[in-house]
Structure 1
Amino acid sequence: MTYRLSSRFRPLAFAAWLLALALLTLGAAQSSFAQIQLLGSSQAASGAVVTTPRVRAELVAHAPDGVTPGQPLWLGLLITHQPEWHTYWKNAGDSGLATQLQWQLPAGLEAGEIDWPLPKIIRVGPLANYGYEDQLLLPVPFKVAPDFQAPAGEALTIRVHASWLVCRVECIPEEGDFTLQLPVRGATALHAPAFAAAQARQPAALSGRSTAKVDGARLQVRIQGLPAALQGQNLVLFPETPEVLEHAALPGSGWTQAWDGADWTADWPLSAMRGETPKELPFVVAPVPAPASGPVAWRTVATVEGQWDSAPVAGVSPALAAALAANAQQAPATPPAAGSAGFWMALLGGLVGGLILNLMPCVFPVLAIKIVGFARHGQDRRMLRLGGLAYGAGVLLSFLALGGLLLALRAAGEQLGWGFQLQSPGLVAAMAVLFTLLGLNLAGMFEFGRMLPQRWAGAHLRHPAAEAFLSGVLAVAIASPCTAPFMGASLGLAIDMPAAQALTVFAALGVGMALPYVLASWMPALVRWLPRPGAWMDTFRRAMAFPMFATVAWLVWVLGQQSGIDGAGALLVLLVALSALVWAFTLAGRTRWLVGSLVLLGTLWLGNAIGPLITRAAAVQSAATASASEWQPWSAERVSSLMAAGTPVFVDFTAAWCVTCQVNKHTTLNREDVRAGFAARGVALLRADWTRRDPAITQALAALGRSGVPVYVLYAPGRPPHVMTELLSPAEVHDALKTL
């Protein structure tokens, strides 16, 4: 029996070529995305539209008679919310912030206040907020001075800086700069329906007298002058002044309402956060449901009768004041200087880190393939050396490509770090598909030469050097989630270096990772312990299918952390369909095309039906689940508050796709003695999950001089942060805890 594994391993190289193409496509797509984002930012600075993943905001105008003294002139911010997201009214309720507009106007124009449309009550758990969903226009009336003179260009440049808080379960502050060229002459009425709809949602003014009488910790509101048609109906009360009433109080239990003849009354609990008693309180009342015609709400200003007790203001204890003072004197963590010494240290760290990267578990599948590759060439020293150099070139160029892409995107304003490509669920799924194909090929289910037309099969990758080069690309692709010792500091330094120096550090990483294979290819004595080519290679090749499938299992688990159990399940179903499709095209004759076509149609239907689940964000962990865990979600604010209270903090910067992170969890962080050590010294445990892209975590890593995970930091009041090694050990943690 003759073994020609050179031809049989070409499918692996072909699969690696597919991965290289996918990485190049991803790089092009992300570069294009960065350019689009830059273009969007540029347009936001000189245009009327700002778009974020949650809202689309546009500066619009309504001037049906042009810009003329005495004629109506309105501008407004038109906000279109994505489903389930909302922004806030002038009084946001129990949480949130109102949208704010800061105008830059030409001479002769004066902006009024926002005419807030009637909001809706948005309940989030025990909280009640006042805000808006779907589409919203915040109109602002403008006055045109009597002596207004039109500019020579016949158009006014209107600028406004807007800031808003958009929330679903999580809340994200956003802002934008808007510019609008408003014609002076002629009508501007493109958005007339939106302004008319906003006007229809305005509360009408009440002429009747209203009072708000203080009764202990409650407020008794009486409103007169409401239309007779409302008598007997239930109304909703919206206080315009924040922190006066308990917004989340429920009708019947927290507050009551009744009609006393033509007067509407309400008895409402005062807020525990109330301040000094004002003289007047403005209210908006609205019927439920809204009337079919006429005003949808009425606004009144109630006179306050009596005085309530202001909520006590918490003082600062002497211990807390001392802790705050010590924390203020602590120098912030800054990245090490990237001078000449820093550059050479980063270079050395990159070289050593690249060498150690070969020992990381994520590189094992490619390591096995390279061992077979060495044995396959036998005593053909020329091909062995050529393959080693080609493999090294693939590794080196791939590190340079990833480093260049990372630097380019960060220069464009993207908050990214090492391993950023696996923060994309789409790429994780694509890599799971690739490794499934590799596993099926190694297991002997199919050969590309039998599935492709003969002309194509004989054309691809005729030279072993190309195969070795693309296996180097594959090695970098699956090694990038790992951060070996010495790599973290080097990558953190490289990110802030000039581009030429930074790419040199990335090149050092590539040289370090490729060096063992290049040396082995040029020094035959290092591989003489391998047996000569023979039947064992076919057995070994089939056995190597299982590390590939193990890699697929890990990638599915990573996707489950990003997109939830539904996303992981959808990927598994599609991988099964893909395997069936591969099997179908190994059949012969008409059966191959008939069964293959049916399975292909089924796979396409499944991809359309359940494919979106793969990229959908996982549901946010409930507060109850989070509180039951020893580890709490990280935030910079939480670290600061704990430190101010004198509590030491241990932060685990981690990600599901980081294999080293998972190893450290099982070998160190989950050990009983380590957990007991944390508890004995009262250390708060925070976990910064970087599985999906999080600019706040990226910024925190940069402040520590790192650009990838894992990173382990122990914070103690009055001391600089203690950053531990990437390969964590229980002894290192115990030694750090002894210093507290």
Structure 2
Amino acid sequence: MAHSQTGQVTTEHVRAELVAHAPHGIAPGKPVWLGLRIQHQPHWHTYWKNPGDSGLATSLAWTLPTGFAAGDIAWPTPTKLPVGPLMNYGYEGDLLLPVPLTVPDGFAGTSLPVSLRADWLVCKDLCIPEYGEFKLDLPTQPTTAHAALFKEAHANQPVTVPALTADAHLDANMLVVTLQNVPPSLQGKPVQLFVETPGVIEYAGAATQEWSAEKLIVRLPLAAQRSESPASMYAVLTAAHQSPGIRVSFDIKGSWPQSGTGVATEVPSTSATPWMLTLLFAFLGGAILNLMPCVFPVLSLKVLGFAQHAGNRRRVVAGGLAYTAGVVASFLLLAALLLTLRGSGEQLGWGFQLQSPLFVAGLAVLFTLIGLNLAGLFEFGNMLPGSVASMRARNPVTDDFLTGVLAVAIASPCTAPFMGVALGAALTQPAPQALAVFGALGLGMAAPYLAASLFPGVARILPRPGAWMARFKTFMAFPMFATVVWLVWVLGKQVGINGVAAILGLLVAVAFAAWIFGTRINTTRGRWAWNGGAAAVVLAISVWAWPSLQGEQATQASIQTPTSSSWQVWSTEAVQRAGQDGRPVFVDFTAAWCVTCQYNKRTTLSDESLLKEFEAKNVLLLRADWTSRDERITRELMRLGRSGVPVYAFYTPGADQPKLLSELLSVAEVRETLKALSSPKPQTDNL
């Protein structure tokens, strides 16, 4: 949900408004407050800075004139929100999240333009990611229209009590917090301690408290899958029906138990099984990735390489090791980039680079060059500087390493069986474990070729080197060109017809330049002139194409329009409404650049008999298109424990969680899922 150019946004679940309070006007040294007011529908809630077992804290991104600075959210004291076996922290009813604003010295304007992008997760029985884009133009005169609202919010913010002291120590799987000089208003009462650092304690666990006059000892169970081991923490102490809370800080003494165990003992084999299973799934997924169609063009180059060096055992082994190194290094680099971006707040998943039109365009150029090279139009060696060419001659396995890099670059559109579970688990783990999963994925992908290079029997299966290799090399240019056609189609989905025209013009210029580089010219001056002209043409076309290739989504409508009348555009609201009507839902999380998605769409999900069964069972068919970045879809994938597409989710009325089907979808599997449904009741489509 979004609405721009306004100070308020209304959805089915909340009314959100950007408000301000400047009792002395907007001037240096004067108190100025901005705030996001969220009015929840009954029984709906949003989350505190530490949301607890599930949920997501509300985030605010400000755009202000130079010199102005927005501070951190002054979070009000939260309440506990039990949801089944989980315990969350958040807010219901009318909420204001105040933010202090610093006015720069020398400011003498007559108004202050403020823009805000706010993201929040609102939940009841179902969680809905929502956002709003707000704009206000504040006069510099005193503004007090929302004075009562800010006064109430400030009154509900945790306070500090200088006399109150706290310290903590670790006792096996418990965090023991001791508070001295607790105010009389809290003494002897059942209290709540809201820890601000996520991922440390078991929120729904059995905490105990022990009073001795003004001294309180609270024992909090540590989380079984702890993600943090801080040296100190902040917490908010409060009692039921008392506001505000008291904010305390404490250092933590002792050694933290090994993360993921909850106790300072050796990890039992049963607790290690999921981690080892994740690595196994990653390895198997990587191996199966070699059977996916997106990898075929590059793998043909490996077959050609095996045949070329079949008589040189040492060269074959070195090439296999170099290819493996290229694959594993590329997966680790891609994983590090993904984890870094996610750590900075970006909502990304597997295949994120293909959501960039510029990356897709770059791949199209690269595959065009590879195809022209295989067709004999030019040789890469002739285009390299002398120093690079000599280094390549001294290290012939460089080509094998780069082939591994290229294989990973184009493997990202595909998701093999086992990969979805492994990658989804990896992105919930600390960085070392996540990198290990991606490394296992790379080893799995490289394993067949590494094994083939290590075992001499494989080379004997291949034909002897001869004239067939030249014909095969030329023939393999056409799969490369076919890949370019597919990439141009993906680009068209992202940036529209103007982007397609731009990339086609650029590819023509690249082909022209490749022809120039491949043409023998006897004089140095002539070669410089031809090469300079070719470079100038490519540069000019690139400058012309650049604006069309870096557009945001071409038009969101073109991306989100379903391909047939049976399918509708996915939204969490549509899923929720169908659930309220007792109607089952099947969601296809897909992308134009995902080859596995497109294969399933054109086979299983286009099967006429299956579509009739969906209709007979009154199943609502929704399609979530992730071709370009969509944070709503990314968050939903994360909620489902997945990091990329395809994902097929089947929502049954009354079920807490959807059933996730295989990445390589079959008609039989979908029919088995449909059999579990009872006979449908007649429904009216109220979407």
Q: TM-score higher than 0.5 here?
A: yes
Tell me what 2:511 maps to.
579
**1:586–1:592 contact (8 Å) kept in structure 2:** no
From the superposition, tell whether residues 710 and 93 of structure 1 become closer, same or farther in structure 2 (CA, over 3 Å): closer
CA offsets 1:579-612 (integer angstroms, 9 cap, x no match): 1122123332465544544444343333223321
Specify which of 328, 336, 345 is matched with residue 404 of structure 1.
336
Once residues 569 and 577 of structure 1 are traced to their aligned partners in structure 2, the CA distance between those partners, rounded to angstroms, is 12
**2:560–2:625 contact (8 Å) kept in structure 1:** no
Specify which of 603, 625, 643 is matched with residue 538 of structure 2.
603
Q: Which amino acid aligns with 2:108?
A: L
TM-score, normalising length from structure 1? 0.58
Q: CA deviation at 1:162?
A: 4.7
**Which residues in structure 2 correspond to 1:158-197 (within 5 Å)?**
158-162=32-36, 176=62, 177=70, 179-182=100-103, 188-192=106-110, 194=111
**2:347–2:635 contact (8 Å) kept in structure 1:** yes
Specify which of 549, 555, 560 is matched with residue 619 of structure 1.
555
Q: Which amino acid aligns with 1:430?
A: G
Tell me what 2:19 maps to.
101
Specify which of 296, 300, 324 is matched with residue 368 of structure 1.
300
Once residues 618 and 692 of structure 1 are traced to their aligned partners in structure 2, the CA distance between those partners, rounded to angstroms, is 9
CA offsets 1:553-583 (integer angstroms, 9 cap, x no match): 1111111111112212211111011111221
**1:355–1:515 contact (8 Å) kept in structure 2:** yes
Once residues 528 and 621 of structure 2 are traced to their aligned partners in structure 1, the CA distance between those partners, rounded to angstroms, is 57
From the superposition, tell whether residues 355 and 464 of structure 1 become closer, same or farther in structure 2 (CA, over 3 Å): same
**2:591–2:626 contact (8 Å) kept in structure 1:** yes
Tell me what 1:69 maps to.
none
Specify which of 548, 566, 574 is matched with residue 630 of structure 1.
566
Q: Secondary structure at the match of 1:414?
A: coil
**1:87–1:98 contact (8 Å) kept in structure 2:** no
**1:642–1:648 contact (8 Å) kept in structure 2:** yes
Q: CA deviation at 1:460?
A: 3.2
Once residues 736 and 686 of structure 1 are traced to their aligned partners in structure 2, the CA distance between those partners, rounded to angstroms, is 16
Q: Which amino acid aligns with 1:411?
A: G
Q: CA deviation at 1:190?
A: 3.0
1:665 and 2:601 matched: yes
Tell me what 1:698 maps to.
634
Once residues 559 and 485 of structure 2 are traced to their aligned partners in structure 1, the CA distance between those partners, rounded to angstroms, is 29
Once residues 730 and 585 of structure 1 are traced to their aligned partners in structure 2, the CA distance between those partners, rounded to angstroms, is 51
Specify which of 668, 673, 677 is matched with residue 736 of structure 1.
673
Q: Secondary structure at the match of 1:650?
A: strand
Once residues 472 and 163 of structure 1 are traced to their aligned partners in structure 2, the CA distance between those partners, rounded to angstroms, is 52
Tell me what 1:650 maps to.
586
**Which residues in structure 2 correspond to 1:555-570 (within 5 Å)?**
555-570=487-502
Q: Secondary structure at the match of 1:532?
A: coil
Q: CA deviation at 1:683?
A: 0.8
Q: CA deviation at 1:732?
A: 0.8
Once residues 565 and 495 of structure 1 are traced to their aligned partners in structure 2, the CA distance between those partners, rounded to angstroms, is 35
**Which residues in structure 2 correspond to 1:81-92 (within 5 Å)?**
86-88=4-6
Q: Which amino acid aligns with 1:571?
A: I
**Which residues in structure 2 correspond to 1:256-655 (within 5 Å)?**
340-452=272-384, 454=386, 456-587=388-519, 588=521, 589=523, 592-616=527-551, 617-621=553-557, 629-655=565-591
**2:7–2:18 contact (8 Å) kept in structure 1:** no
The answer to which of 367-376 and 462-471 deviates more is 462-471
Q: CA deviation at 1:739?
A: 1.0
Q: Secondary structure at the match of 1:155?
A: coil
Unaligned runs of 5+ residues in structure 2 are: 39-57, 63-69, 72-99, 115-223, 226-259, 261-270, 678-687
Q: Secondary structure at the match of 2:622?
A: strand
CA offsets 1:462-507 (integer angstroms, 9 cap, x no match): 3222221121111111112211001101111111112222221111
1:726 and 2:650 matched: no
From the superposition, tell whether residues 188 and 387 of structure 1 become closer, same or farther in structure 2 (CA, over 3 Å): closer
**2:424–2:643 contact (8 Å) kept in structure 1:** yes
* RMSD between aligned residues: 3.3
Q: CA deviation at 1:642?
A: 1.2
From the superposition, tell whether residues 461 and 191 of structure 1 become closer, same or farther in structure 2 (CA, over 3 Å): farther
From the superposition, tell whether residues 704 and 628 of structure 1 become closer, same or farther in structure 2 (CA, over 3 Å): closer
**Which residues in structure 2 correspond to 1:213-292 (within 5 Å)?**
none
Q: CA deviation at 1:450?
A: 3.0
CA offsets 1:256-294 (integer angstroms, 9 cap, x no match): xxxxxxxxxxxxxxxxxxxxxxxxxxxxxxxxxxxxxxx
Once residues 648 and 464 of structure 1 are traced to their aligned partners in structure 2, the CA distance between those partners, rounded to angstroms, is 57
From the superposition, tell whether residues 161 and 374 of structure 1 become closer, same or farther in structure 2 (CA, over 3 Å): same
From the superposition, tell whether residues 595 and 389 of structure 1 become closer, same or farther in structure 2 (CA, over 3 Å): closer
Q: CA deviation at 1:189?
A: 4.8
Q: Secondary structure at the match of 1:713?
A: strand
**Count of matched residue pairs:** 464
From the superposition, tell whether residues 610 and 450 of structure 1 become closer, same or farther in structure 2 (CA, over 3 Å): closer
Q: Which amino acid aligns with 2:289?
A: L
Unaligned runs of 5+ residues in structure 1 are: 1-53, 55-84, 104-108, 112-140, 145-153, 165-171, 199-335
**1:161–1:175 contact (8 Å) kept in structure 2:** no
Q: CA deviation at 1:641?
A: 1.2
Q: Secondary structure at the match of 2:618?
A: coil
Q: CA deviation at 1:615?
A: 1.8
Q: CA deviation at 1:655?
A: 0.7
Tell me what 2:214 maps to.
none
**1:360–1:660 contact (8 Å) kept in structure 2:** yes
Once residues 624 and 388 of structure 1 are traced to their aligned partners in structure 2, the CA distance between those partners, rounded to angstroms, is 43
**1:88–1:97 contact (8 Å) kept in structure 2:** no
Once residues 624 and 418 of structure 1 are traced to their aligned partners in structure 2, the CA distance between those partners, rounded to angstroms, is 20
Q: Report percent identity of matched pairs.
A: 50
Q: Which amino acid aligns with 2:549?
A: I
Q: Secondary structure at the match of 1:528?
A: helix
TM-score, normalising length from structure 2? 0.62
